[in-house]
Amino acid sequence: MSEIPNRNGAKLGYKLSDFELLKTLGTGTFGRVYLTRFKGTEQYYAMKVLKKAEVVRLKQVEHINSEKTILSEINFPFIVNLLCTFQDETNLYMLLEYVVGGELFSHLRKAGRFSNDMTRFYTAEIILAIEYMHSLDIIYRDLKPENLLLDDKGHIKITDFGFAKKVEDRTWTLCGTPEYLAPEIIQSKGHGKAVDWWALGILIFEMLAGYPPFFDDNPFGIYEKILAGKIVFPSHFDPSAKDLIKKLLTADRTKRLGNLKAGSDDIKKHKWFRGVEWQVLLNRAIRAPIVPVCSHPGDTRNFDNYPEVSEEEQRIVGVDPYKHLFKDF
């Protein structure tokens, strides 16, 4: 049996040639995520491949190093596991567990919108993950359906920690997805953990409605609507869900649920969650509302298809002017 990458991020001397890149699972600004197989085994992983030159050009060095550090520290049932990282002259590589069920976003688009019970189930799992991150002083800052994967049993796995940051008090970087930004990020007031609870309010609304509460054709239109704070609730919304969303989408963060004295407990005790057994949920002992169809551990049917790039494009071997910027990879 070949050696398997471990999960503590320790350097194990892996290189790209140890893996077979099978299919693109997703693309981003400076790289892509592949389904990969550890050669000589039937072990499948997701490999995030980031072009160093692009990371540097887009001034994302700090974000990428921070993502690696944070993921190495995290170990939680509802968060994707980082197994190891390595680099070559051209790219940075992050080897992550492969989450076979695809993005929650795809399942939401297919369904149009989720029922009250489905939305509550996913929200409860996400709350436990945010609570765990906040206990480590990590702000996630990129909650949205595209960053939520479903595992083979249909449980949530949060992925993409490019905007996550360790912050004890406040930070000032403008980052995130326009529809999900809290007012204090838009106004550059300095922000902390409360932005994740705001984003949770947006996410609950989007799962129940099929669209976010503040949307427009351009980001500035979205920001104006967020700051105006007018939410139009569809008539089918459960009254308790509506109450929770209002308390999370409170512009004044000193009054925002999740950011008060009892922290996340205030959210967990909200009437919408009446009857949720949090410990049973944490043990993944509650059957998920959607169990993704998959026939084997490397099944990609739950992911969209992307045009592939040639191997030559991936590997441009030569001088590496950036190695010193990514010492921990």
Over 50: is that where the pLDDT of 249 sits?
Answer: yes
pLDDT of the residue at 306? 92
Domain boundaries, the chain: 16-100+296-313, 104-282
Three-class SS state of 193: coil
Task: Give the pLDDT band of residue 11 (cuts 50, 70, 90).
Answer: very low
pLDDT of the residue at 4? 58
The residue among 283, 244, 287 whose CA lies nearest residue 264 is: 244
Class of 16-100+296-313 per CATH? alpha beta
pLDDT of the residue at 9? 45
Q: What is the set of active-site residues?
A: 142
In the chain, the N- to C-terminal Cα span, in Å, equals 26
Please give the model's pTM, rounded to 2 decimal places: 0.93
Task: Convert the pLDDT of each residue in 71-81 to its tens digit.
Answer: 999 999 999 99
pLDDT of the residue at 175? 79
Residue pair 52/326 in contact (Cβ under 8 Å)? The answer is yes
Task: Give the pLDDT band of residue 184 (cuts 50, 70, 90).
Answer: very high
Q: What is the DSSP string of 61-89?
A: HHHHHHHHHHHHH---TTBPPEEEEEE-S
Tell me the mean pLDDT in the region 288-295: 96
pLDDT of the residue at 309? 82
Instruction: Give dist(CA 178, CA 33) in Å, integer.
Output: 23
**What is the CATH number assigned to the segment(s) 104-282?**
1.10.510.10
Instruction: Give dist(CA 305, CA 301) in Å, integer.
Output: 9
Tell me the mean pLDDT in the region 171-199: 91
